[in-house]
Structure 1
Amino acid sequence: MTRHGRKTSPLKSLSISKRQWAKIAAVVAAGGLITGAGFVSRSFYQSDNAKPVNQVTAFSATDSAASRSATRGALNATDKNTTFVTVKINGDSRVVLGEKDAMKTVKDVLDAGNITLDPDDTVSPSLKSKVTESTVITIERAGADVETTDTDIPFNEIRKETDSLPKGTEKVETEGQNGVMETTSLVTRSGDKVVSSNVFTSWVKKAPVDKVILVGTGSTTSSSSSSSGSSASLGTTVPVGEMQTWAHDYMISNGYSEDDFTAANFIINHESGWSPTAANPSGAYGLPQALPGSKMASAGADWATNYQTQFKWFLGYCNDRYGSVTAAYNHWLQYRSY
């Protein structure tokens, strides 16, 4: 995960057992973030009759005074123009972040958190009531179930030239393996029909293992059984899918090398599995797992959904912080973050 930042969603329907929430809260605590900011998918599941998927800005395991104090301390250190209000839905708490001038009433808070009220919901205090950081907004609503699914993250093929093999020969150094993306959603059903589904977290449970093919450049007919003769090049990565193809072409057309794309692809595969709506339990968001995700607004107002905007921000971040994408890659290999 990135050090600069790490996930959640406005919960359109929430009736989760205390045991389930305890498990989720434990994950949050393990991620080390009670007050992290992030955004969730607006399109994890949608049908013609489904309600829109909502988005929330942040969450907290508790709404205690100590938690609020810690939240304020963290915000003072990062963004003094940001405020927060705790929202409890069916007894479970989360924190909504927003600009101070835009979060003055209960309705403002719900709007900032993209929390849409159902017709039968009860809200306290009233929508027009003024709020402060000590306010706890309580919503009672119909239930939803927590559902967790795993999906594949495709592996890439990397071709590396080496003089340890005769020219014109190839050797598979590493077989590829798909990764796993774990997504936890809050799903409301009517019978067998999904009415709405809201992504709570979506993170790389297991990173893919790239298939590495050594391509011989040697002048002799003998080959070495060792791959130690491989060049220092990171190799040429074959893009998989639309996003990777666009990212590859964008980098090459803007003066980056194949090594740079290989490095960028490796980092993003491990951070988000190339999901622009990936939301880690720690709060990080998007392809680069920026924390908070709103940092990417500097690259475009559509940062929450546009993978191109997120990727451009990622390149700028790597260049500004490490001097290059490959330097960020080397840092990631050493520290498992960048």
Structure 2
Amino acid sequence: MKIAAVVAAAGLLGAAGLVSRSFYHADDVKPISTITSFSATDSAASRSATRGAINSADKNTTFVTVKINGDSRVVLGEKANMTTVKDVLETGDITLDPDDAVSPSLKSKVTEATVVTINRADADVETNDTEIAFNEVRKETSSLPKGQEKVETEGQKGIMETTSLIKRAGDKVISSNVFASWVKKAPVDKVILVGTGSTKSSSSADLGTTVPAGEVQSWAHQYLLDNGYSEADFTAANYIINHESGWSPTATNPTSGAYGLGQAYPGSKMASAGADWQTNYKTQFKWFISYCEQRYGGIVAAYNYWIAHNNY
């Protein structure tokens, strides 16, 4: 009788558009695998139809709906063996990969109203743009009365383009690995002329005083002043780094692989300034200063070279 009832239930499930596997072995009438099925819907009506089919077969049988990346599957099995999400997945022979996201948790209790959701992790290459702040540079000029100010150049934000390999499970980001990050558009400083009222012309070497923008620049500015450098040195350093990396310590040139604030090539050169050169902006900035001193004789000299050659 039990075998006949199960066969009848399988027929009802088949009529409802569900695919099933054998539930009992014909010889010893013992369960060897569970009936599993797939459905394009997950409505209360479809669950009711499934419950009706099961009732006509065996009241000890239950079911739970499992959605995998949006596709619904109904897992059937004995009530005693289907009490938690983990039981449901084992009964339905559903294997989770390490990065898959499952809800509710594996230890959660289930009923026939439970819908277990599994989002398989998937990796995509994504490119996005972020803004680079512009700085305010104040320059003295004898062409204006003392104390009078005039905006010579309006500031414009720059754009940093970053390409990453993003691995997601549903809406959850499992991992994100940046493999290219470069200055798509360098910021334009806001230049303010400040009148001196003096007939004495300003030095051509006077680059003005740059107001730091953000924590990294503020630290670099203070570090230079504390070590005997001038405001002009910071203005020069800020200009170079804004154009090279947008002050991102993980900036990576997609073509050459140059890395970090000053775009060292290879990036491992910066190990001379510290073992944490890959992530520490302080270590990278100290290396940048040393590089400018050794190759050009100073930061302002490196700036002058950059202006003439668009690199340094």
Instruction: Report the TM-score when normalising by structure 2.
Output: 0.59
Assess if the C-alpha contact under 8 Å between 1:176 and 1:208 holds in 2: yes
Between the two structures, name the one with larger relative contact order (CA 8 Å, sep ≥ 6): 1
Assess if the C-alpha contact under 8 Å between 1:161 and 1:231 holds in 2: no
Inter-partner Cα distance in structure 1 for 2:137 and 2:126: 35
Write the letter of the residue equivalent to 2:261: L
Inter-partner Cα distance in structure 2 for 1:257 and 1:191: 52
In the alignment, what sits opposite 2:129?
Answer: 150
Write the letter of the residue equivalent to 1:174: T
SS of the equivalent of 1:189 reads strand
SS of the equivalent of 1:252 reads helix
In the alignment, what sits opposite 1:290?
Answer: 264
Equivalent of 1:335, from 295, 306, 309?
309
Instruction: Give the direction of change, closer, same or farther, for the CA distance of 1:207–1:337 in structure 2 (3 Å limit).
Output: same
Assess if the C-alpha contact under 8 Å between 1:174 and 1:212 holds in 2: yes
Inter-partner Cα distance in structure 1 for 2:183 and 2:257: 13
In the alignment, what sits opposite 1:218?
Answer: 197
Structure 1 residues without counterparts, runs of 5 or longer: 1-117, 121-141, 221-228
Inter-partner Cα distance in structure 2 for 1:178 and 1:253: 29
In the alignment, what sits opposite 2:163?
Answer: 184
Assess if the C-alpha contact under 8 Å between 2:158 and 2:186 holds in 1: yes
In the alignment, what sits opposite 2:214?
Answer: 241
Question: Is 1:275 matched with 2:248?
Answer: yes
In the alignment, what sits opposite 2:294?
Answer: 320
- Per-residue deviation, residues 36-77 of structure 1 (Å, max 9, x unmatched): xxxxxxxxxxxxxxxxxxxxxxxxxxxxxxxxxxxxxxxxxx
Assess if the C-alpha contact under 8 Å between 2:122 and 2:169 holds in 1: no
Inter-partner Cα distance in structure 2 for 1:263 and 1:254: 16
Assess if the C-alpha contact under 8 Å between 2:270 and 2:277 holds in 1: yes
Across the aligned residues of Structure 1 and Structure 2, the Cα RMSD in angstroms comes to 1.6
Report deviation, 1:162: 0.4
Identity score, percent:
77
Larger radius of gyration: 2
Within a 5 Å distance, the mapping from 1:60-99 to structure 2 comes to none
Report deviation, 1:219: 4.4
In the alignment, what sits opposite 1:33?
Answer: none
Structure 2 residues without counterparts, runs of 5 or longer: 1-96, 100-120
Report deviation, 1:230: 5.5
Q: Paired residues, what number?
A: 192
Report deviation, 1:152: 0.4
Inter-partner Cα distance in structure 2 for 1:238 and 1:192: 40
- Per-residue deviation, residues 4-39 of structure 1 (Å, max 9, x unmatched): xxxxxxxxxxxxxxxxxxxxxxxxxxxxxxxxxxxx
Assess if the C-alpha contact under 8 Å between 1:162 and 1:231 holds in 2: no
SS of the equivalent of 1:186 reads strand
Write the letter of the residue equivalent to 2:146: K
Inter-partner Cα distance in structure 2 for 1:119 and 1:191: 14
- Per-residue deviation, residues 135-169 of structure 1 (Å, max 9, x unmatched): xxxxxxx8511111100000000000000101010
Question: Is 1:304 matched with 2:283?
Answer: no
SS of the equivalent of 2:196 reads strand
Assess if the C-alpha contact under 8 Å between 2:157 and 2:187 holds in 1: yes
SS of the equivalent of 1:276 reads coil
In the alignment, what sits opposite 2:236?
Answer: 263
Write the letter of the residue equivalent to 1:165: L
- Per-residue deviation, residues 229-273 of structure 1 (Å, max 9, x unmatched): 664210000001111111111101111111011000000000000
Assess if the C-alpha contact under 8 Å between 2:122 and 2:168 holds in 1: no
Assess if the C-alpha contact under 8 Å between 1:164 and 1:230 holds in 2: no
Write the letter of the residue equivalent to 1:147: E
Report deviation, 1:195: 1.2
- Per-residue deviation, residues 106-163 of structure 1 (Å, max 9, x unmatched): xxxxxxxxxxxx979xxxxxxxxxxxxxxxxxxxxx8511111100000000000000
Equivalent of 2:152, from 159, 173, 177?
173
- Per-residue deviation, residues 183-208 of structure 1 (Å, max 9, x unmatched): 00111111121111111101100000
Instruction: Report the TM-score when normalising by structure 1.
Output: 0.55
Inter-partner Cα distance in structure 2 for 1:162 and 1:273: 29
Inter-partner Cα distance in structure 1 for 2:192 and 2:203: 13
Assess if the C-alpha contact under 8 Å between 1:160 and 1:231 holds in 2: no
Inter-partner Cα distance in structure 2 for 1:270 and 1:166: 33
